[in-house]
Chain A
Amino acid sequence: MANDDVVLKVDELCTHYLTHDGEVMALDDASFELKRGDSIGVAGESGCGKSTLAFSLMNQVQPPGEIISGSIDLDGVEVTELTEKEARKKIRWKKVSMVFQGAMEIMTPVYTVGHQMKEPLKYHKDVEGKAARRTCERYLELVNLGPEIFDRYPHELSGGQKQRVVIATALLLEPNLVILDEPTTALDVVVEARIMNDLKRLRRELDISMMFITHDLSILAEVSDNLAIMYAGWIVELGDANKIYKDPKHPYTEKLMAAIPDIRTDIDRLEYIPGVPPNLVNPPSGCRFHPRCHKAMEVCREMTPEVYDVDGVKVKCHLYSEDESIAGSQEASYETAYEDETAAEAYEGEIGKEEVEDGIEESEEPEKAKPEI
């Protein structure tokens, strides 16, 4: 069956955070597939659910988060049904590993690099001593580091070297899928370009699938075959990266692309998306993007858009509806962020509520922070 090629199949996955203030719908109805050796880039603003998606794939969503429904088929294993113990034994490191955001701080300063690298080998494969050292050194070499790094302490390494160590560790048990959450955000451009080069090479040599998570579309262009653009917990556009870069379909993707400054031409203004992403306890009705959309129509406020197939790219937007009455709906008569930024902000929920009651006492306790998503 052709399915043999598919390493990861996510179907209608919903992960919500059950907070005191209500259910935060951090990830809603996410469906996509990833073939062996392919890569997918997940992009969106902070708080759009990209990291939640990654943690769900590892079955490592922290409480109060919970996978509510849907399925994740990772190389034949149904991830959502695993208990914590099973997940640790069966999938983590072996089938899926993750390189976290800010990997610099992830290593313990009191142990050598080698000590920390060996750990997964010991627990999963019972490999110790010299054999473990040899394996580690081989992987260090793969990421362009010398074997002497094995005996170093993290503080002796530069940021780029640390990041390479973390990548090498993620590859140790030959997982099918490596998730890289903002792998180069904290690095300088030159180092970033080199690590990206290494990742491209590794993907080819080791035939592993990679999932890149970032807010910066210009980095994704280099490494992803497929692209998933996320907004407010939804995947709004999904498909072949070349197609999406050339001709973004969803208004959000369009704006996100336009926000990247071009180094070769003189421009007077940068494009941006006014307003802020919504609070997911109380997302906007209809299409979640409509308060910030420059192409918003009347229907967008009322109806949740379906996913439409446009030239092989899946787009969740009313603009592409086959139903003429929807696609040709009137232009929005309500105010979007383009006319009035604060109108769109009403959806901020908590924040929006607070400002209505003016004249709170100065001594009042600080409001509770919005739950970090």
Chain B
Amino acid sequence: MADALFRARNLTKHFEITQGLMQKLKFEGKKKVRAVDGIDFDIYWKRNFSIVGESGCGKTTVGKLMMRLLNPTDGKMYMKNKDITKLSSREEIKAYRRQTQIIYQDPFSSLDPRHRIRTILEEPLQIHSIGDSREERSDMIHEALEEVRLTPPEKFLRRYPHMLSGGQKQRVNLARAMILNPDFIVADEPVSMLDVSVRAEVLNLMKDLIDEEDVTYFYITHDISTTRFFTDYIGVMYLGDMVEKGRVGDVLDKPSHPYTQALLVAVPEPDPERVRGEKKVPIKGEIPSGTNVPSGCRFHPRCPHAEDICSEKEPPEKTVEKEHTAKCHFAGEIEFDIEVAK
């Protein structure tokens, strides 16, 4: 495999909890939320990487770290073999963000309601001083709108965000990210607020742009059903740790971590005959808080296969097959059978 476009090694982010005076007086030491707890992954050129997990598992924090919107507590990140954790000055970070853009979840609130589409798309160009004249920028804006299939562009330039449908708004967001010709886009739940039919349209478009614009996506989602179509690699996160990762087909066909298996069972299926009965969701309870990460394997209190070793020893990363690893003591031994779910 060629060199990775983006690499993360032992990426860690702990948030300290602000304490009141009384808590400080007790000298209990500072409490921390271990939002991202030492994860490694590689993203290859034009091979999308998706990250899935429940809310509170740290997936959005990873996205923000990659954009350098947050500073990591520990660990390294490399973009094209350049250490981006070392970037410190405003200029360096600004130059980095020209290569890396982000799209947010909520298309309704991520566009300024008082700006016309033209102004919205012109802003990144102004910030990065691209284009010499208004005309040149105009051409770029036209091009960006055409890229995201908002045609004819003249029709959209003068509109305000409220005059667009949800799907169109998200396409404007996409155009705003694309206008800088980035290599890499962090897409944080880009379609989860859209209707199913529109969702498909936006994902198709994003996928087309991979080849047209030479862009790679880091796709953050809780909806595991869209990952197979959209991405090549997948990482499953649980409570700040990446418990399973690999090629998307391998992970979804042969999930080796009990948590991944549970996620797959829970996916709703559009086939009434299969799913009429109650589903056996194999895990209990809800995701614990990041302040209080269980000992040993962090999943063991909810795991149906847990044994003594799980609460004592943190599981190593086991290789299940080529490029497919799972952090579970019994990885590869637990049978996954979607039939039990019926």
Contacts and interface: CB of A to CB of B under 8 A. Distances in A.
Nearest to B283: A190
Given A158-B286, A367-B163, A273 B197 contact: yes
Contacts of A341: 149, 151
A270 to B, nearest CB: 4
Contacts of B272: 221-222, 224, 241-242, 245
Contacts of A217: 196, 270
Contact of B158 (A194, A215, A358, A369): A358
B7 to A, nearest CB: 26
Nearest to A215: B195
A263 B167 CA distance: 23
B155 A257 contact: no
A351 to B, nearest CB: 5
A280 B283 CA distance: 45
A299 to B, nearest CB: 25
A222 B204 contact: no
Contacts of B207: 269
Given A160-B286, A355-B155, A194 B200 contact: no
Contacts of B253: 264
Interface stretch (B61-69, B261-269, B290-298, B309-317): B261-269
B95 interface: no
Nearest to B302: A190
B337 to A, nearest CB: 14
Contacts of A269: 204, 207
A266 B227 CA distance: 10
Interface in A213-266: 215-219, 221-222, 224, 241-242, 245, 255-257, 259-266
A189 B225 CA distance: 10
B54 A221 contact: no
A191 B165 CA distance: 29
A276 interface: yes
Contacts of B197: 45, 255-256, 259, 272-273
Contact of B263 (A189, A201, A242, A358): A189
B125 interface: no
Contacts of B154: 358
Given A193-B281, A259-B196, A366-B113, 19 more contacts: A158-B286, A159-B55, A192-B266, A197-B278, A197-B281, A215-B196, A218-B268, A221-B270, A222-B269, A245-B272, A261-B229, A263-B252, A263-B267, A267-B228, A270-B200, A271-B200, A272-B201, A354-B163, A370-B162
Interface of B: 54-55, 113-114, 149, 151-152, 154-155, 158-160, 162-163, 165-168, 195-201, 203-204, 207, 222-226, 228-229, 249, 252-253, 262-273, 275-279, 281, 283, 286
29 contacts: A46-B195, A158-B286, A189-B54, A189-B222, A191-B54, A196-B268, A197-B278, A200-B277, A216-B268, A218-B269, A221-B268, A221-B272, A222-B275, A242-B273, A259-B200, A260-B225, A260-B270, A261-B225, A261-B228, A261-B229, A262-B225, A263-B267, A265-B228, A266-B249, A270-B200, A270-B203, A272-B197, A272-B201, A274-B201
